[in-house]
Amino acid sequence: MENLTNINVIKDIFERHGFTFSKALGQNFIINPSICPKIAELGNAKKGFGVIEIGTGVGVLTNELAKRADKVAAVEIDSRLIPILQETLAEYDNVTVINADVMKTDLNAVIEENFKGLEVAVCANLPYYITSPIIMYLLESRLPIKSITVMVQKEAGVRLCAKPGSRECGAVTAAVHYYAEPKLLFNVSRGSFMPAPNVDSCVIRLDIRDPPAVSVTDEKFFFRVVRGAFSQRRKNLANSLSSSMSADKQTVISAIKAAGLSENIRPEQLTLQQFADVSEQLSTLI
């Protein structure tokens, strides 16, 4: 295929297919030629691997994944891109394009159907309107995958890679650290996209942990505690948890103290292990 990062090539494809960008679907396509090979190489697109891609656009990253991995399954919501992909991916027989919303796609079934005997990785330039929900969906689906390598908005990347116990930490950060070891790989300027977004971006990789970072008796309850803790950013842990979990404040304070923490501690000061400790204590009291 001709160079899909060349603006004239893309414009010609769009004209022939009558395609116009959808802002609502987060369509900012990569036009910097150095980015996609790097995502593919750092994202485990290699022999012995099947790669799931989310959001193909015109297939610029899909091409780089298909060159390197044994198989690629790419999920794209916009049906207008399907005839374009038939053209831009014509030379590959190892790519399956699935025209669907990734949030409604059973990715365990996709893996089962397409990647028998292969290790699996996820690579994507994510649509920014739905970054955190997609990452949480991937992690909570407990897919048998090695890594998730994604381009996200720069601030989102910094927050996702922040350490629990630091100021930038939120509920999604804690969840990411529970399931994976996040790493910020490299920054990408806004000029690398067409159309250029208003923000810079970065590529992060989440290396999936097996088992998760801390051991908890009841994972659902643990995540209720984590989400509840960060539900009211200005409140301390005791106040946030008592209102979000409809629990008596003294009971929550007892659990926090039994976990060896100060009753005035703030949610962003807790490590993952301390969240696990509070969750274990609280589950015996409410």
Sites of contact with ligand SAM (CB under 6 A): 25-30, 54-57, 60-61, 75-78, 101-103, 125, 127, 130
How far is it, in rounded angstroms, from Cα 123 to Cα 54? 7
Q: How far is the CB of 27 from ligand SAM (least distance, A)?
A: 5
What is the distance between the alpha carbons of residues 241 and 8, in angstroms, rounded to a whole number?
55
Nearer to ligand SAM among residue 143 and residue 226 (C-beta): 143
* Closest to ligand SAM by CB, 29 or 179: 29
* 191 dihedral zone (left: phi>0; alpha: psi -120 to 50; beta): alpha
Task: Please state the closest distance from residue 146 (CB atom) to ligand SAM, in A.
Answer: 20
Least distance between ligand SAM and beta carbon 2 (Å): 15
Instruction: Identify which of residues 27 and 279 has a Cβ nearer to ligand SAM in the complex.
Output: 27
Give the number of other CB atoms < 10 A from CB of residue 191: 11
Q: Which residue is nearest to ligand SAM (CB)?
A: 55
Q: Give CA–CA dist 50/41, Å, rounded.
A: 13
CB of 97 or CB of 253, closer to ligand SAM: 97
Q: Give 235's Cβ-side CA count (13 Å radius).
A: 14
Give the residue with the Cβ less far from ligand SAM, 24 or 220. Answer: 24
Q: Where are the alpha helices (DSSP H) in 217-271?
A: 219-229, 237-244, 249-258
- 3-state SS, residue 47: coil
Q: How far is the CB of 142 from ligand SAM (least distance, A)?
A: 20
Q: In angstroms, give the least distance from the CB of 145 to ligand SAM.
A: 17
Closest approach, Cβ 171 to ligand SAM, in A, equals 21
95-99: strand order across its sheet: 95-99, 71-76, 49-54, 119-125, 147-153, 201-208, 180-188
Closer residue to ligand SAM, CB minimum distance, 30 or 143: 30
